[in-house]
Each structure stands twice: as structure tokens, then as C-alpha cells.
Amino acid sequence: MRKIFIFSFLLLCINISFASPQDDLIAKGNSFYQSGNFAQAAELYQQVVTAGYESPVLYYNLGNSYYRLGKIGYAILNYERAQKLAPGDEDIAHNLALANSRIVDKIDNIPPFFLFKWWESLLAFFTISGWTYTAYLFYILVLLSIGLFFFTKSPFRQKLSLYSAAGFILLLIITSTLLAIRMNRELNYKNGVVIEQAVTVKLSPDDKSTDAFVLHEGIKVRLEDKVNDWVRIRLKDGKIGWLPEKDLRTI
């Protein structure tokens, strides 16, 4: 019995030693959320994000907290960030669609050609990490297939290994291409979400510039350029304009 107690105590010490402050904040945030204190939960989750930690679950919980508080812009922002890390998660997609249904601005999007839609779905199937791991997997399978060719003496197995190597090389090229395209998009294409209830988009990066149109919180925009504290945005329907950087957040 004494040995069991000592072992349990050691395990407890190990768990305590490896527990991070972020884990403690997340646990407290979960407790506040379950008790209905969404403001306090959002504050604690946001502290973890500010500290540099990110995960789909963290952004998902933070989005849920903001949604409960009626802050649709912040909710959509965090759902988008969660979906960026876990593109295939159905719960994230459902809550994001629910939040988007409450957006004031209804912007018509030109329906993409079905091949382009299929291509975009394929790119979004994995994150950059997912495509990287997939490429590594096919690379290892290529090496194993080549190794089998040299180490086996059976003509049938040699032929099988050659065909397998050719197939894995093709898949490696495809996944590497998708990885390169996804990385290029991450580096060169940025999206953001308007967080203010209503903002006036300008024709140029100047407060005295002519008003272009008005946007409301939660709308997703493409970030194309930046001049001082102004960001040029593009909507799905092609409209462009300038917004103060403080009025939106990058996904």
C-alpha cells in the first residue's frame, strides 16, 4: 500500500511539473464557460492566445465564448483561425456557418467553376503540416520500394517494387506541389475579419478620402496592401477599398 501511495505521489508531482500556465488558464476558462461566465472565459482564452499558444480547440472555444457574448466579428475571426488549423472539422464548420448567418452584409460571390471548387477543396483538405507529413510518408515509401527492389531476388517482387516506386514518386510530386502552393498562399495571401460593428471603407488610405462603402462586423476580406496604419481590402464580389488596421484582425 505504501508503494502504491509513493507511486501515485510521484505521478502527481510529474503531472504538476509538466503542467504549463497555459493549461491552467484553459482549464479555468473551460470552467467559466460551463458556468455561463462567457466574458471571463473569453478573457482567459485570449490570454493564452496572446502568449503565443494556438490550437483548433482553443480558437473554437474562444469563438464560442465571443458568439455567446454577441461579438460576431471576434467569433468568426476565431472560428476561421480554428478552421485554418483543422479544415475538416465539422463542428468548426457548423459554428462558422451559424455565425456567418448573422452577418449584416450579404455579399454575392461569383459561383466558381466546379473544377476550381474541387481544386480549392483539395488544397484545404490538409493544413501545411498535414501536406508536409503526407509528402514525407510518400518519400519514405519510395525509399522502401527502391530498397525492396535491390534486396529481393524474386523477379515478381522486383517488378512490383518498381511499379510501387513509380506510383509513390507520382504521389510525392503531387503532394509536394500541393504543399508548395499552400505555402505560397500562406505567405502571399492574407485574409482578415472586420471586428468593429460598422466601418466606412475609403477610396484611399486617408481619413479625408471619399467614402466607398460601409461594412459591418464579421465580414471576411482579402488583405492586399498596407500603407502606414491603413490596409487595402478586397471583397468576394471584387470591391476594393481602404480600412484602418485597427478595425480588422488577420486570420
Q: How many domains does the chain fold into?
A: 3
| Residue 160 resides in a domain | yes
In this structure, are 141 and 210 located in the same domain?
no
The residue range of the domain holding 146 is 114-188
State whether 27 and 56 are in the same domain.
yes
Cell for 197?
460593428
* Domain containing residue 218: CATH number: 2.30.30.40
Q: Which of 97, 128, 138 is nearest to 220 (CA)?
A: 97
**d(C-alpha 30, C-alpha 185), whole Å:** 34
158: buried, middle or exposed (CB in 10 Å: 19+, 13-18, 0-12)?
middle
Indicate yes or no: pTM above 0.75.
Answer: no
What's the CATH code of the domain at 73? Answer: 1.25.40.10
> Final residue of a domain: which of 163, 188, 213?
188
Tens-digit pLDDT string for the chain (251 aa): 333 333 334 334 444 444 577 889 999 999 999 999 999 999 999 999 999 999 999 999 999 999 999 999 999 999 999 998 888 899 999 999 999 999 998 876 666 666 777 877 787 788 888 899 999 999 999 999 999 988 888 889 889 999 999 999 999 999 999 999 988 877 778 899 999 999 999 999 999 999 999 999 999 999 999 999 999 999 988 899 999 999 999 99
